[in-house]
Amino acid sequence: MTSDLPSYQLPQFAAKQRCTVTVTQIGWLGSRAAAAKADCGSISELLEKIGRGELTVVSTALLSQPVSPRRQEISSLFRPLLRLILMGIGAALILALLLYIADRLLPQAARIDPAAVKTPAVGDIVAGFEITDDYHIRPFHPVTGVANVPHNGVDVATPIGTPVYAVGQTGDRVTVDCWWDVDGGGWVADQSAASYPGYVFQSLHLSENGCQSGQAQAGDEIAYTGNSGLGTGEHYDFRVKISGAYVPPGEIYLESALTGKPPRQ
């Protein structure tokens, strides 16, 4: 009997390929090698073929010594982190040592708060000499009569020829600059010492030709008091600048300028 029903041919499915993957490295490199072994262009293609059933993984061989991938991954991350921590600790110790050395080498006097230093007042006796005028705004200049003139230093009743000394700590090199002040200060000596960075100790109304510019040692004679410039009589005007601005002059610095001894700390 002949059947008139149409005949159908069942589709032929290709048999699944069997893929043996040999893993020699962990992580991405191992997966990439497995993909190449299975003739796949990428790891994603390898996974897709396995998902569609086109490939079957039948065995996995580790040629190297078995190692926990997670443990090795943590170990590989921990080593550079530990190295960074140790480097940071080492740098911190070196910095602390340098700061300690700098702190020990920096003279204590250089860290004195200017506001904490006593400023001489009229009538005080410093190094055996009387203070005749202090740091303030004068109602009138004693010579010119100009009103509200700042007096940026302290005046000391010294006779002409009183020695003026380089101010600094023992062993300091002191730079001395002598010049003529056209505004009435007469002969002026500016001096700066390594122990007092940013400080300038200024002496006014000095004797003519008594000031010696150049380098000196702390405690050396650098000038002599006089009566040059504007004034009502022989005296010594002592001033202090910090970072270019006048500040109330400390008694310890004035005493050093008149005795040659290092400023008290």
Concatenated DSSP letters of the chain: ----SPP--PPPPPPPEEEEEEE-SSHHHHHHHHHHHTT-SSHHHHHHHHHHTSEEEEEEEE-SPP--HHHHHHHHHHHHHHHHHHHHHHHHHHHHHHHHHHHHHS-GGGG--GGGS----TT-EETTEEEEE-SEEEEE-TTT--EEEEE-EEEE---TT-EEE--SSTT-EEEEEEEEETTTTEEEEEEEETTSTTEEEEEEEEPTT----EEEETT-EEEEBB--SS-SSSBEEEEEEETTEEEPPPHHHHHHHHH-PPPP-
Same-domain pairing of 30 and 46:
yes
The confidence band for 12, taking pLDDT boundaries of 50, 70 and 90, is low
Same-domain pairing of 21 and 91:
no
pLDDT score at 147: 82
Q: Is the pLDDT of residue 101 over 80?
A: no
User: How far apart (Å, rounded) are the C-alpha atoms in residues 234 and 248?
Assistant: 22
Same-domain pairing of 129 and 204:
yes
Same-domain pairing of 131 and 218:
yes
Lowest-confidence range among 31-35, 63-67, 69-73, 95-99? 63-67
pLDDT score at 17: 47
The chain-wide mean pLDDT, for the chain, equals: 79
Tell me if 204 sits within 8 A of 153, measured CB to CB: yes
Query: Domain for residue 112, yes or no?
Result: no
Q: Of the ranges 33-37, 100-104, 215-219, which is most confident?
A: 215-219
Query: Domain for residue 23, yes or no?
Result: yes
Tell me if 213 sits within 8 A of 177, measured CB to CB: yes
Same-domain pairing of 55 and 86:
no
pLDDT score at 166: 97
Query: Domain for residue 116, yes or no?
Result: no
190 contacts: CB under 8 Å, gap ≥ 6: 176, 177, 178, 179, 200, 201, 202
Query: Domain for residue 3, yes or no?
Result: no
Query: Domain for residue 1, yes or no?
Result: no
pLDDT score at 16: 47
Same-domain pairing of 87 and 187:
no
Same-domain pairing of 145 and 250:
yes
> Per-residue pLDDT tens for 190-232?
999 999 999 999 999 999 878 889 999 999 999 999 999 888 8
pLDDT score at 65: 47
Same-domain pairing of 83 and 155:
no
Largest CA distance in the chain: 154
The confidence band for 35, taking pLDDT boundaries of 50, 70 and 90, is low
Q: What percent of the chain has pLDDT over 90?
A: 42
Query: Domain for residue 99, yes or no?
Result: yes
Same-domain pairing of 73 and 188:
no
Same-domain pairing of 79 and 93:
yes
Same-domain pairing of 129 and 249:
yes
> Per-residue pLDDT tens for 129-172?
999 999 988 777 777 777 878 889 999 999 999 999 999 999 99
Same-domain pairing of 95 and 177:
no
Question: Per-residue pLDDT averaged across 37-51, rounded?
Answer: 68
> Per-residue pLDDT tens for 19-31?
455 545 555 555 6
Owning domain of residue 137? 121-259
User: How far apart (Å, rounded) are the C-alpha atoms in residues 32 and 46?
Assistant: 9
Query: Domain for residue 115, yes or no?
Result: no
Question: Per-residue pLDDT averaged across 76-93, rounded?
Answer: 80
pLDDT score at 22: 52
21 contacts: CB under 8 Å, gap ≥ 6: 34, 37, 38, 57, 59, 60
Question: Per-residue pLDDT averaged across 28-44, rounded?
Answer: 64
